[in-house]
Structure 1
Amino acid sequence: MVPAISKPLLAALSVFTVATLAAPSFVSSAHAADAYPSRPIRVIVAYPTGGISDAVARALGEKLSVQMGTSVVVENKAGAGGSIGIDAVAKAAPDGYTIGFASTSPLTLNPHVGRVNYDPEHDVAPVMSVMYSPVLVVATSGFAGKAFPDLLAQAKAKPGSVRWATSGLGTVGHVMLEQVKAKSKADITLIPYKGAGQQMNDALGAQFEVMSTNASPMLTQHMQAGRLRALAVGAPKRLESLPAVPTFAELGYPKANLTSTFGIFAPGKTPPAIINRLNAELNKALGEPEVRERLLKGGEVPTGGTAAQFATAIRAESEDNARIVKEAGIKAD
């Protein structure tokens, strides 16, 4: 998660540096990459089955299987905001046969708001950014206002009357809310859930006025049916699918203009040659029309790029989140 697309994780880059300092290690790495892959690759998805993350990971896995000539098995390990899945990746053998699909939050946000069982600086290596997911603030039928300024006006006129639901404490949506509250001084009540499922059910039942949530096919369906209304979006620019909905930057809240970035990760000591091979194959898979179409239909935006670019973005995101979390006093469950 970073504004407009978010000193941990220097080691994600040091993996590349260390390998080039010692010729024997580099040669060994090169030989490993030549023989790679020789058996199935496991992709750990840090979220439940059925969601957009699961669908995208499986679409990429299908392409990788064809491109790399081996089976790609997808395994879901959900929980703790993605930290359980990332922990499994961190503890796997660094041989390229176990990789993970998750948002960057388990590396850039979760360690700042609570305890994690892995070292984000050493145990996980970024492979490639896959997509960013816009974060929307949507109104339920319980909110009579028409636009985001109406939400703030109500919160100031009747303190505590606007309830803002998030999928959990210390999530991107929670950080977004805290940024809005800090600048607007509006008295908005936080309603943290333990996941997006019950949050969506209660939104449809108007159990609160607004919620922050990632773009998804289900959210799009409810908005198209008129059950939910988008008031603002965290994204670099307005979404093509919602051209009338302003970004938080346009509304005067650039620090709340947050998205969720998702990507592929490997164990921290995975040889650079294997990471580079995976990166090349993943970029190729992401460029396939049917994969891009699946992302865009779900409201996600394909990204791609090098492992080093992803590591740099993660480092900057973590630094931003550390500051935000400290200023807002955000704590997880």
Structure 2
Amino acid sequence: MTSKIKTWLGMAFGAALLPLHAPVAAQAAWPDKPITLVVPYSAGGPTDVVARMLAIPMGKSLGQTVIVENTVGAGGTIAPARVARAAPNGYTILIHHMGMATAPALYKKLSFDPLKDFEYIGQVLDVPMTLLSRKDFPANNFQELLTYVKANKDKVSLANAGIGAVSQLCGLLFANQIGVNLTTVPYKGAGPALNDLMGGQVDLLCDQTTQTAPVIKDGTRVKVFGVTTPTRLASMPSIPTLDEQGLKGFDVKVWHGVYAPKGTPPDVTAKLNVALRAALQDDAVKARIAELSSEIVPMDKVTPESLRTLLTSETAKWGKVIKASGVQAE
């Protein structure tokens, strides 16, 4: 065999091996560009606050920038629809709260299936809620609030962050439990709703402590009437629960999870899970979440399996509540 033939065969053999090795090298390099973390609600809202807390430490863990993108509208359903249609490569991911579980019952036509169109990365944190009013609202405690609302139900406005938002569900449960129908005022996000409450344009709002804790602690811009969980908040122990003030069994808290498009490779979702876990154990993140009266879930819940189980059970639970209430969006 001549040297030229040997050289040609060697080159051909090497070229034949390239397709086998190239994908392995590319896959091992993930991520090699910024990752977009999609938020279904407006900047400054509760879910946006959580996303921005996680973005920097997750980026450090992954070695790439994590960009927060607010994709708002349709009660928080546009963002998951966008992520469900995104390329399943880990570069577009979603953070969402319990709205993923309520959407199937709230919307007749949903362009995505929360249980089938995503890979699960893990749970994030649980957030209590608080019932607030504008600072100059006539009532000064919960019993006065009940008396005033029942006597002036046609005049009292109840803000929320939009159809399907947790603030809407919390407000709906409150109104149902006290036996009145209140005028609801939907906003395009929790931030605008809270701003109008502080500005005196609306009367009441039930929203997450990631949004409300700073203004409650400020003490000059809103009144607070109770916490929506069965136990008081460690960071604000003077605020009684709605349950202990007479609304027996009232229990609403907001859970959050991170998702990727269906078909995202397992090694990529595993890296995202590692980054999420690292972010939740970051000292600055833990301090900030505690400051906002929220709780990071135990690390054994920061798993795909735990999030899948939670979403399945919560979808069944809230589906019954929503259908019984008769509330539905187009």
TM-score, normalising length from structure 2? 0.80
Report the alpha carbon displacement of residue 130 of structure 1 after superposing the two structures with TM.
Answer: 1.4
Partners of 2:177 and 2:45 in 1: CA distance? 33
Report the alpha carbon displacement of residue 266 of structure 1 after superposing the two structures with TM.
Answer: 0.7
SS, match of residue 77 in structure 2: helix
Partners of 1:176 and 1:282 in 2: CA distance? 28
1:289 alignment counterpart: 283
Change in Cα spacing, 1:291 to 1:121, as seen in structure 2 (3 Å) is same
Partners of 1:52 and 1:163 in 2: CA distance? 21
SS, match of residue 109 in structure 1: helix
Contact 2:130 2:228 in 1 (8 A): yes
Partners of 2:57 and 2:194 in 1: CA distance? 32
Partners of 2:181 and 2:168 in 1: CA distance? 15
1:75 corresponds, among 52, 59, 69, to 69
Specify which structure has the bigger relative contact order, considering alpha-carbon pairs within 8 angstroms and separated by 6 or more residues: 1
- State the identity %: 30
1:277 alignment counterpart: 271
2:101 corresponds, among 90, 98, 108, to 108
Contact 2:89 2:264 in 1 (8 A): yes
For the pair shown, the structure with the greater C-alpha radius of gyration is: 2
Change in Cα spacing, 1:179 to 1:64, as seen in structure 2 (3 Å) is closer
Q: What do the CA deviations read for 1:146-169 (whole angstroms, capped 9, x no partner)? A: 222322222334443433222223
Contact 2:83 2:92 in 1 (8 A): yes
Change in Cα spacing, 1:59 to 1:152, as seen in structure 2 (3 Å) is closer
Contact 2:71 2:79 in 1 (8 A): yes
SS, match of residue 258 in structure 2: strand
2:314 corresponds, among 313, 317, 325, to 317
TM-score, normalising length from structure 1? 0.79
Unaligned runs of 5+ in 1: 1-30
Report how many residues are paired.
Answer: 302
1:172 corresponds, among 166, 170, 186, to 166
Change in Cα spacing, 1:172 to 1:254, as seen in structure 2 (3 Å) is farther
| Structure 1 outlier segments of 4+, above 6 Å | 31-34
Report the alpha carbon displacement of residue 253 of structure 1 after superposing the two structures with TM.
Answer: 3.6
2:56 alignment counterpart: 62
Contact 1:233 1:246 in 2 (8 A): yes
Report the alpha carbon displacement of residue 243 of structure 1 after superposing the two structures with TM.
Answer: 1.1
Change in Cα spacing, 1:36 to 1:116, as seen in structure 2 (3 Å) is farther
1:35 corresponds, among 14, 20, 28, to 28
2:258 alignment counterpart: 264
Unaligned runs of 5+ in 2: 1-23
Are residue 95 (structure 1) and residue 81 (structure 2) matched?
no
Q: What do the CA deviations read for 1:34-68 (whole angstroms, capped 9, x no partner)? A: 72524223322333334454344344232233323
Q: Could you tell me which amino acid in structure 2 is paired with residue 112 of structure 1?
A: A
Are residue 151 (structure 1) and residue 148 (structure 2) matched?
no
Contact 1:247 1:257 in 2 (8 A): no
SS, match of residue 197 in structure 2: helix
Change in Cα spacing, 1:143 to 1:54, as seen in structure 2 (3 Å) is closer
1:6-25 equivalence runs, <5 A:
none
Are residue 330 (structure 1) and residue 327 (structure 2) matched?
yes
1:202 alignment counterpart: 196
Partners of 1:274 and 1:254 in 2: CA distance? 45
